[in-house]
Structure 1
């Protein structure tokens, strides 16, 4: 049964500058090692819908890019914590990627182009897609997505952390990537758990 998309009002990304304690996962500022690259799935990881089944083009930005409206007037946006997480990661010099197996890559890219993210570092807003260093959006095994990211970035697999909502995609761990399974979208708490798992797996801290 398809999962119910969360109401837009509950997930609209605020452009108001947040206090540092709300903006950053604790692991971003605790002084311990961080992955060089964090990769996110899209559907039910960064946003609460399947872009290939819930969204009908054409798309139009609304509320200055805080959300996107489709042909039928349905509103779509990121999970609440996502904009601040992406902004913080980029501000810390962490590379950001997306690995999605959606059947409508063009629609996913359009969504990322229309949604905008506030940058606390300079008070500006940017298209969400501009915060991603690597985009691999096409049907198929996530291992192929990561092989392409690895080839493009020259970043070791063990320096990569992956957030995804489907356990079948744990097969990327055979490459050396650490995957953290999320059930209700990416939050600051899930990022902390994922980074802590990455540190344990790579012996960056004592178990």
Structure 2
């Protein structure tokens, strides 16, 4: 930082010297000012500016936090299930999105030219969990499974997912289908959703459930679920 500030100060000094030596400037008679005085004045200002710097935090595009390494002997979910609407992306697909959706050179738009994006932390979160070996599943209650497939492909999420499903049915039934298809006990599942309304129904199956915040699922939510799972599963309800 000091080196860059010195360079900036020198640039200003050189500029003032060149400016002062211009003919029309020399014709202006100011008895109390000369080039050395101005250079010294700028040097003092530069030092004051440098001593008053403040730190700036820039929020990362993707989550850089990683899940804790697995510890031998601890319990971990065999499947982490996440609801898509308001948990993976900030919209209700059935209510907020006008079909058909389209991909214009990597920009996803609905038919009303509304841009569609996931929460910014989601790609990094999925990548971290996938590298840790967790199996991930997305579910949604929209009957438009084809559009949902397109969204997941265009967001490049398919490479992280063991299972994805969108159909008009209670969330409890969607979780039940995953359990039956992959032969995974409910007590070996972790479920994350921003909406509370159907969480009690899923918890009745003995699934560990976490309600996320209104800014989508975060690594903190996942870590909370993993902690509950490792200390209370499979008796959590």
Bin for the TM-score computed over the shorter chain: 0.7 to 0.9
**TM-score in terms of structure 2 length:** 0.65
Please name the residue that 2:230 is paired with.
199
1:86 aligns with 2:115: no
- Choose 107-116 or 34-43, whichever is displaced more: 107-116
Offset from partner CA, 1:26-66 (integer Å, 9 cap, x none) = xx3263543111000000011100111211233233564xx
Please name the residue that 2:183 is paired with.
154
Gaps of 5+ in 2: 1-59
Larger Rg over CA atoms = 2
Contact 2:138–2:164 (8 Å) recurs in 1:
yes
Offset from partner CA, 1:50-91 (integer Å, 9 cap, x none) = 111211233233564xx5222222111111211111112221
Please name the residue that 2:198 is paired with.
169
Please name the residue that 1:74 is paired with.
114
Query: Superposition RMSD on alpha carbons, in Å?
Result: 2.5
After the TM superposition, which segments of 4 or more aligned residues of structure 1 sit over 4 Å from their partners? none
Structure number with higher strand proportion: 1
**TM-score in terms of structure 1 length:** 0.74
With CA pairs under 8 Å and 6+ residues apart, which has the higher RCO, 1 or 2? 1
Structure number with higher helix proportion: 2
Distance in 2 of aligned mates of 1:160 and 1:112 = 22
Please name the residue that 2:82 is paired with.
40
Contact 2:188–2:234 (8 Å) recurs in 1:
no
